[in-house]
Amino acid sequence: DAGVTQSPTHLIKTRGQHVTLRCSPISGHKSVSWYQQVLGQGPQFIFQYYEKEERGRGNFPDRFSARQFPNYSSELNVNALLLGDSALYLCASSLEVSGRPEQYFGPGTRLTVT
Amino acid sequence: GIQVEQSPPDLILQEGANSTLRCNFSDSVNNLQWFHQNPWGQLINLFYIPSGTKQNGRLSATTVATERYSLLYISSSQTTDSGVYFCAVIEYGNKLVFGAGTILRVKS
């Protein structure tokens, strides 16, 4: 079975631009979460979606938004990019949000803002 | 929110040596995961271990939830074990809170 997939793998953008990152969860998983990892730190929670509804939001500005589609794939959008948005963006999927919410991560999208 | 602390921050081992990584958390948790992040950034699931002990080959993990810590044991280390090891606890809902990680370097 395929794991979590993310696209693109790498991306270079200029300050002020907009970016869209994509994630496909493991087949059968209905929850998708997004994390940002800057160099030298652990991943930080951005959003969680379950059954197309936002279930949680981390401490990120409104420039960050996301959505989940009927097929449970997800997009993360970042507007008005800043240099500080340069990071590895990780997507994780899980079967559910209660019971056994074990999360599985994709390979990430490395975003560089110049 | 919950705080997660990992120790040591860095560890250098000779191939074949054993090691113990520790994860302390500030509040009661029902769920905990250990990950290995490879040099390409991929987070690999090692253990989902809310309590008790689990073993997978040369790796094992123990979580004592009542005392708010978890341990990851690596035996007979290999160069391929190098990377960053993270523990993460699940806060309300499904939000993972990560520690800062332990950087492991295994020398041949």
Domains and CATH numbers, chain B: 4-107 (2.60.40.10)
Per-residue pLDDT averaged across A47-61, rounded? Answer: 92
Close Cβ partners of B29 (under 8 Å, ≥ 6 residues apart): B2, B50, B65, B68, B89, B90, B91
A-B contacts at Cβ under 8 angstroms: 64
Is the minimum CB–CB distance between A89 and chain B shorter than 8 Å? no
Per-residue pLDDT averaged across B92-101, rounded? Answer: 87
Residue of A45, A54, A94, A111 best to disrupt the B interface, most CBs of B under 10 A: A45
- Nearest to residue A40, comparing CAs of B25, B43, B101? B101
CA atoms within 13 A on the CB side of B18: 8
Per-residue pLDDT averaged across B80-97, rounded? Answer: 89
A contacts of B88 (beta carbons < 8 Å): 42-43
Residue of B45, B92, B94, B97 best to disrupt the A interface, most CBs of A under 10 A: B94
Is the minimum CB–CB distance between A33 and chain B shorter than 8 Å? yes
Q: What 3-state DSSP class applies to A63?
A: coil
What is the per-residue pLDDT for A1?
A: 63
Task: For chain A, give every domain's residue range.
Answer: 5-97
Close Cβ partners of B11 (under 8 Å, ≥ 6 residues apart): B19, B21, B102, B103, B104, B105
Instruction: Classify domain A5-97 by CATH number.
Output: 2.60.40.10
Q: Residue A97: pLDDT above 70?
A: no
Distance from CA of A30 to the nearest CA of B (A): 12
The chain-wide mean pLDDT, for chain B, equals 94
Phi-psi region of B84 (alpha: psi -120 to 50; beta: other; left: phi over 0): beta
Q: How far apart are CA A83 and CA A92, in angstroms?
A: 24
What is the per-residue pLDDT for A2?
A: 82
